[in-house]
Structure 1
Amino acid sequence: MEIKRFEESFIKKDYLIGPTKKYYIVTVKIDKKKYKFMIIKDGTIIYEGYEDGLKLAKYSSLLKLYSVDRLALNTTKLSMIHYKEDRPNGNPWVKDSNIELQRHIDQFLEGSTSITTIPTLEPKDRKREYQLYNNEYKSRVVYEYLFNSLSHRELDESILGLDPKESRGYQAMGILHHIGLRDNHKGIFKDVSLEAAILNLKKQEADFSKVVEFLEKIQIHIIEEERLGNIIAADIEAELSEEDSYYKDGAVKEYHGKRYERNPENRRRAIESHGLNCVVCGFNFEDFYGEWGKDFIEVHHLNPLNTVQAEVIIDPEKDLAPVCSNCHRMLHRKKYNVLSITELREKLQRMTW
């Protein structure tokens, strides 16, 4: 597939310029088997994924959309469009009719209503361990136990940060047993999507509301990570468009001046660790620009890149810091004397006294 041709055609479509439906699903044939799918809400791409084959791409996109908005699977709110360059008539774009779309929705809902019986919960009073950890830790313990079959000792070590030789898995076991999750629940959702697992639990005759609550917290976290990842990727593309060329992180032999962090994962983790306020002056783009500035901040390398002689592993928490555009330029104003965060903060404080 010719990416440039698709992009030039895609940006002119109504569902990006002036959407007439709240949601659009767009599938794109990449090669013989691989398909990309996008979910668009109110003119903004909120999710992108890949599947082998059009059928799977349709199913996965409907499943993801259902997890975002259960009322979205309706032909008055949703359209499904497909892009394939090798169509015989030469027009790569095809839109499903309402009848075709309703058939896809009905098939999806019919498949989603098939219920796998889940063993009943057997709660045991382990209040001490249960109350010792916040909901984020408990959600991760539940998820890793049900989906990845982690043992109690593995959960203590990887999620709760304990020495399993000392804790012997008792903390994670206490959390799980207090909820009622036992050995017969371990790995029960292996190879099952999170959305499908939640749907299944909600259809059980027994009450799994507490398990659903924890899994939905994981789901929200994943959606937020994906949303932030898409925003970061778009920001990086915007930054790259300002230059004729760019270099791979750390691969530069010598570099002087302002430098963006272009590894999306590093950037996302730096923002998660430090937030979106400038660490020098406290400026927040959303506070000043409203929705247009939401989730935007530049990321500064604490170790000057002109000292890098080879590719290095970046620790986003220790090596990167969020800064506003003005402070970023001031840090790099003298190319042979890059200021530290503390030095620039001190200069700013002297000016405000």
Structure 2
Amino acid sequence: MSDHDLADQMEETSDALQRAREMVGRRVIGQEKVVDLTLISLLCGGHALLVGAPGLAKTRLVEALGTVMGLDANRVQFTPDLMPSDILGAEVLETGPDGSRTFKFIQGPVFCQLLMADEINRASPRTQSALLQAMQEKRVTIAGAERVLAAPFHVLATQNPIEQEGTYPLPEAQLDRFLVQIDVDFPERDAERAILLATTGAEDAQAEPVFTADALIAAQGMIRRMPVGESVVEAILDLVRSARPGTADAHVQISDQVSWGPGPRAAQSLMLGVRARALMQGRLAPSLDDVAALAHPMMVHRMALGFAARAEGLTLDAVISRLVEVTLDRDVAA
């Protein structure tokens, strides 16, 4: 594909993304940043962790995305008694008309294109880990046989940050599989007023398909061909490496504030994410502003504060904002 053809394809995809944003916005009002970050995650071929209180339209968002992006969607409510087979599926013994017995595989809800893992931290670590291979390799191993998942495959998981009793925090290895953590806040007053009027009337606005699964796969491949300037690449490296305590490139205060920092997946996520954000805004190449805007959602779940920093009331938001300001010369609010 020539550079001219790539530019034309990018412009067409950018226009389609604007229509997709509008369609999702019909169903999810007042959460434009959340919608954008979720679409960025899908464009990058990644998974997203939605963190927010109940009633903030997280389930509604996933349903709308499934419709708009043309994806086959399933939802699993994670509970303490949920077993891995409830997600992956299982082999059952089936008796035929002639009395013969054979094993038949019954697919679990993971065999879809968009899986909503609702309140993922309520399930046991054993069940949580059942998603690890699916999220990383897009396949699962059941009864010794590998089964390939549908393409594309995305997990959108939710967590309630308020109630922690009876939950199992996600291990670092699984958190790292999420391309982005999206904090879902309460809507502004005007947005909440619009929600009241839109959702308590006789009719509820409906979303319409904009993409297909094949079109999304094509867009994901196109994202990887988008050129990235050397200054953006160096900025991503500077930012990620400055957040690792005990290393030569660490920021001077990081070793005292952070117990562990982001690995190479953070840099990989940023490299894809800045391209997707640029495309959504109709630009043909990412800038340093894209790096600054995505630093928090792509790094916050890959870092942990040290005990002393927590005792002082420091937050990861403040740490990341400071790193962005120092390494990128950008003043960005968390």
Q: TM-score, normalized by length of structure 1?
A: 0.27
Structure with more of its chain in strand, by fraction = 2
Q: Which has the higher contact order (CA 8 A, sep 6+)?
A: 2
Q: TM-score, normalised by structure 2?
A: 0.28
Structure label with greater radius of gyration: 1
